[in-house]
């Protein structure tokens, strides 16, 4: 099989479609499945003079061309030329010439923009001298699904936020936060995703609002960097969390709990009454992980030190770290359980005074005196206290 390249402009491609020299719907093709929104984005890319992936066509024995790969792109172009699609001038990033053409059809485009559209070239590969099975194999290889994570998609936005988050992720080894300690690798840019969520949550100042992937993406699109205050806070939190690695503990976080521990460390760093708590973190993390691992046993016990109560709350933490991890209640529940657990740890060590009398102590006092179901107690505390504000 040979692939012969050419670079026809759109005017030439449309002419071939109209004359039936180029068949957009051969019998092996699926139907027209792109939404109007996706079609408008392709038209927007062409008007910006951006790259459009190449088209692959099969040349039949009678010299007609059938589209092997690129059908949806060609349909979008055809529909625009036929007046079925209009320009969307609101698609980011902002471009004044496209904003001014908002709502235009192909026929009503400003002359210079229509000329630019007509003269836009697309690489076309023409398949000739092929064996019967070769076009199908090529089609399969071209269309194997590639599903990008949200973090991988955002990594294509070369703005200041991307650079700041990437720098934080690359600095994790310097804070002694390696894969062994964290519990998972940065495969599919997992660290970038968590650090972006932490930074943008701090920027928004709350955990009480769901942080969607689209919200983070819009922040990546922005030309405004994250404040140095936020970056410094997160760096300090990572440094504090990494200090626990020296004790040999391996907490084996998942993405949800790693996010929660970063926020937890930010709270300790930001609380003026909690300065002394920083030195307690390594021992607390070691204790917390041992308690978490045996909480299913401890919850059946009842003693005067509150072990059963602590274990019941830890079970909420575990549940909300393995299911429904991203809903607002789960994020807030993990947040307050960590603070309560720190208070319990300090109390059993005879150092509760290190908690001071601020908001962190308030979480501990409220949850340890509650006698009802652990999850209900957390929900009640969150409702009455409006907990969730970040520094």
Same domain, 107 and 184: no
Inside any domain, residue 391: no
In a domain, 154, yes or no: yes
Q: Of 52-56, 121-125, 133-137, give the lowest mean pLDDT range.
A: 133-137
Helix (H, G, I), strand (E, B) or coil at 236: helix
Q: Is-contact 267 199, C-beta < 8 A?
A: no
| Domain endpoint, select from 126, 142, 158 | 142
pLDDT of residue 90: 94
224 and 258 co-located in one domain: yes
Backbone angles phi, psi at 290, to 5 degrees: -65, -40
Asked if 346 and 367 sit in the same domain, the reply is: yes
**107 plus 182 within the same structural domain:** no
> How many other C-beta atoms lie within 10 A of the C-beta of residue 259?
25
115 and 195 co-located in one domain: no
What b/e string do you get for 232-258 counting C-beta neighbours within 10 Å, with b at 16 or more? Answer: ebbebbbbbbbbbbeeebebebbbbbb
Verify that 179 and 155 share a domain, yes or no: yes
User: pLDDT-based confidence at 159, cuts 50/70/90?
Assistant: confident
What pLDDT score was predicted for residue 305?
45
Residue 26 lies in a domain: yes
The CA distance from 355 to 277, in Å, is 7
Domain count, the chain: 2
Token readout for 328 is: 């607002």
Most confident of 182-196, 312-326, 368-382: 182-196
Q: What is the pLDDT of residue 146?
A: 67
Quickly list DSSP for 148-198.
--HHHHHTT--SHHHHHHHHHHHTGGGGT--HHHHSS--GGGHHHHHHHHH
Say yes or no: 175 and 94 in one domain: no
Residue 390 included in any domain: no
> 67 φ, ψ to 5°?
-75, 120
pLDDT tops 80 at residue 207: yes
pLDDT tens-place string over residues 300-353: 434 444 567 778 888 899 999 988 888 999 999 999 999 999 999 999 899 999
The answer to whether the CB of 6 falls within 8 A of the CB of 16 is no
Do residues 43 and 172 share a domain?
A: no
pLDDT band at 267 (very low <50, low <70, confident <90, very high): very high
Q: What is the mean pLDDT of residues 379-385?
A: 94
114 and 167 assigned to the same domain: no
| 17/123 same-domain check | yes
- Low-confidence winner among 102-111, 143-152, 205-214, 262-271 (lowest mean pLDDT): 143-152
The answer to the question of residue 334 being in a domain is yes
* pLDDT at site 29: 58
Are 244 and 328 in a shared domain? yes
Q: What pLDDT sits at residue 297?
A: 43
Which range has the top average pLDDT, 98-112, 290-304, 361-375?
Answer: 98-112
Domain that holds residue 225: 150-385
- What pLDDT does residue 49 have? 96
What's the gap between Cα 45 and its chain centre?
24
List pLDDT tens digits, range 83-95: 999 999 999 888 9
Order the strands of the 2-6 sheet from edge to edge: 2-6, 124-128, 55-59, 65-69, 22-23
């Amino acid at each position: 099989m040979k692939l012969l390249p050419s670079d026809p402009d759109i005017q030439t491609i449309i002419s071939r479609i109209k004359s039936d020299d180029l068949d957009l719907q051969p019998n092996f093709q699926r139907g027209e499945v792109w939404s109007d929104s996706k079609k408008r984005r392709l038209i927007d890319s062409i008007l910006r003079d951006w790259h459009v992936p190449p088209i692959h066509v099969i040349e039949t024995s009678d010299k007609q061309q059938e589209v092997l790969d690129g059908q949806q792109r060609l349909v979008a172009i055809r529909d625009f030329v036929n007046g079925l699609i209009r320009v969307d001038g609101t698609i980011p990033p902002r471009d004044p010439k496209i904003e001014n053409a908002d709502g235009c059809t192909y026929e009503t485009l400003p002359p210079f923009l229509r000329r630019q559209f007509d003269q836009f070239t697309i690489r076309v590969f023409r398949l000739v001298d092929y064996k019967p099975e070769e076009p199908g194999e090529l089609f399969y290889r071209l269309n194997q699904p590639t599903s990008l994570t949200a973090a991988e998609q955002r990594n294509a936005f070369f703005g200041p936020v991307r650079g700041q988050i990437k720098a934080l992720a690359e600095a994790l080894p310097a804070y002694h936060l390696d894969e062994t300690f964290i519990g998972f690798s940065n495969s599919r840019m997992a660290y970038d995703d968590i650090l972006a969520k932490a930074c943008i949550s701090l920027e928004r100042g709350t955990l009480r609002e769901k942080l969607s992937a689209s919200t983070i993406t819009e922040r990546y699109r922005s030309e405004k960097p994250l404040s140095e205050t936020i970056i410094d806070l997160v760096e300090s939190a990572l440094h504090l969390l990494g200090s626990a690695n020296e004790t040999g503990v391996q907490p084996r976080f998942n993405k949800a709990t790693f996010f929660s521990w970063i926020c937890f460390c930010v709270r300790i760093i930001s609380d003026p009454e909690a300065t002394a708590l920083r030195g307690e973190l390594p021992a607390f993390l070691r204790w917390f992980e041992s308690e978490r691992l045996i909480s299913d046993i401890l919850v059946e016990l009842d003693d005067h030190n509150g072990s059963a109560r602590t274990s019941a709350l830890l079970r909420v933490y575990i549940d909300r770290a393995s299911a429904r991890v991203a809903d607002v209640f789960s994020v807030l529940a993990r947040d307050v359980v960590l603070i309560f657990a720190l208070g319990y740890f300090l109390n059993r060590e005879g150092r509760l005074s290190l908690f001071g009398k601020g908001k962190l102590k308030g979480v501990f006092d409220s949850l340890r005196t509650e006698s009802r179901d652990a999850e209900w107690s957390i929900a009640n505390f969150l409702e009455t206290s409006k907990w969730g504000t970040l520094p």
